[in-house]
């Protein structure tokens, strides 16, 4: 394997910082959640368009009807994930919202068990219980602060569930499609979905302050294209488990940025609950990695 020009672990670290800016940029924008989500993905599609047209258009002929359906479903669920997550930031803090969205591996685990009959380990169940307990601590603290903060927590959890469906439908398609083509199609479908959502919601696409347009473009450039591109580039040299673990630092980065840039205070229930959630997901990801290695070893011993 060729040596990377940039340390992949440094790239992952930069990617974490990049995605940590997402909640901050949403929080400072004055536009409705659906509008922010639309422009985030719409500008991402526009930036990707030249590369897609030059190199990846022929791949469209190879996509099956089933893959089009699955990609379409993934795009729609991604759109509503953004709507609910961005809306949650209008009610609850950056700390609570970003921590609750990191419960995605647990939701994915439940989805894989229900729809793909994947095995459950005792440690995986234990880690899920720990992570859920952490979310209860956060929500309990937010309920004491205000009912609207608790409502924001529920929106964040719903957003987490939706992004899990997006990933479950997309994971099989992604194996048969290049990253650029898959991402371009999913973002395009999400943009179209959000376009009609904004119209149905009675929101306006313009006018907005000049600062809002800057935030829309930054959302497309930094967390969407830079952050996730660095993660995908790093996959050539580091495992998905390491990247999954690294993404757990997003709530920490987002909370620190919110503290210094937005002046958001952090209460003890958010710190305690956040640490419990991250601990639970860490145990889950480590166990998942061990199970995959064990399964691969069994396959190798049979084939050997």
N- to C-terminal Cα separation, the chain? 24
**pLDDT at 36 exceeding the cut of 90:** yes
Say what the pLDDT of residue 262 is. Answer: 85
Q: Which region holds residue 119: left if phi is over 0, alpha if psi is between -120 and 50, else beta?
A: beta
Q: What is the mean pLDDT of residues 128-133?
A: 76
Structural contact between residues 254 and 18, judged by C-beta atoms closer than 8 angstroms: no
**Residue 281: φ, ψ to 5°:** -70, -35
**pLDDT at 162 exceeding the cut of 70:** yes
DSSP letter assigned to residue 45 = H
To the nearest whole percent, how much of the chain has pLDDT over 90? 33
Question: What count of Cα atoms within 13 Å lies in the side-chain half-sphere of residue 126?
Answer: 9
Structural contact between residues 188 and 43, judged by C-beta atoms closer than 8 angstroms: no
To the nearest whole percent, how much of the chain has pLDDT over 70? 88
Structural contact between residues 141 and 273, judged by C-beta atoms closer than 8 angstroms: yes
Q: Supply the pTM of this predicted model.
A: 0.80
Say what the pLDDT of residue 22 is. Answer: 92
**pLDDT at 145 exceeding the cut of 90:** no
Q: What is the mean pLDDT of residues 107-115?
A: 71
**pLDDT at 19 exceeding the cut of 60:** yes
Average the pLDDT over each of 15-19, 37-41, 115-119, 289-293 and give the range with the smallest value: 115-119
Residue of higher predicted confidence among 210 and 102: 210
- Residue 300: CB partners within 8 Å, gap ≥ 6? none
The domain limits of the chain are: 8-303
At 284, is the pLDDT very low, low, confident or very high (cuts 50, 70, 90)?
A: confident
Mean of the per-residue pLDDT values for the chain? 83
Q: Which two tokens stand for residue 47?
A: 């930036």
Q: Which region holds residue 218: left if phi is over 0, alpha if psi is between -120 and 50, else beta?
A: alpha
The CA distance from 119 to 293, in Å, is 14
Say what the pLDDT of residue 211 is. Answer: 95
The CA distance from 112 to 190, in Å, is 23
């Amino acid at each position: 394997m060729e040596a990377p020009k940039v340390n992949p672990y440094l790239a992952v670290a930069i990617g974490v910082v990049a995605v940590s800016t997402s909640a901050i940029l949403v929080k400072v924008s004055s536009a409705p959640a659906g509008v922010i989500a639309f422009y985030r993905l719409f500008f991402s599609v526009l930036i990707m368009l030249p590369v897609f047209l030059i190199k990846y258009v022929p791949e469209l002929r190879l996509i099956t009807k089933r893959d089009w359906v699955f990609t379409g479903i993934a795009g729609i669920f991604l759109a509503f994930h953004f709507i609910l997550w961005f809306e949650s930031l209008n009610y609850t803090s950056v700390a609570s919202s970003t921590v609750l969205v990191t419960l995605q591996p647990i939701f994915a685990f439940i989805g894989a068990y229900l729809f793909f009959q994947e095995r459950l380990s005792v440690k995986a169940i234990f880690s899920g219980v720990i992570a859920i307990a952490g979310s209860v601590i956060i929500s309990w603290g937010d309920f004491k602060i205000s009912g609207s903060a608790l409502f924001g927590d529920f929106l964040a959890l719903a957003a987490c569930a939706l992004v899990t469906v997006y990933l479950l439908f997309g994971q099989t398609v992604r194996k048969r499609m290049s990253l650029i083509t898959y991402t371009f199609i999913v973002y395009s479908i999400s943009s179209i979905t959000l376009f009609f959502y904004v119209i149905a919601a009675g929101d306006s696409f313009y006018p907005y302050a000049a600062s809002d347009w800057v935030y829309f473009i930054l959302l497309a450039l930094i967390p969407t294209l830079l952050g996730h591109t660095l993660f995908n580039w790093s996959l050539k040299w580091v495992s998905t488990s390491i990247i999954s673990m690294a993404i757990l630092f997003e709530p920490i980065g987002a909370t620190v940025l919110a503290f210094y840039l937005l002046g958001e205070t952090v209460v003890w229930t958010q710190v305690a609950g956040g640490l419990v959630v991250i601990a639970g997901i860490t145990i889950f990801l480590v166990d998942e990695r061990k199970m995959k290695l064990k399964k691969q070893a069994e396959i190798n011993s049979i084939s050997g």
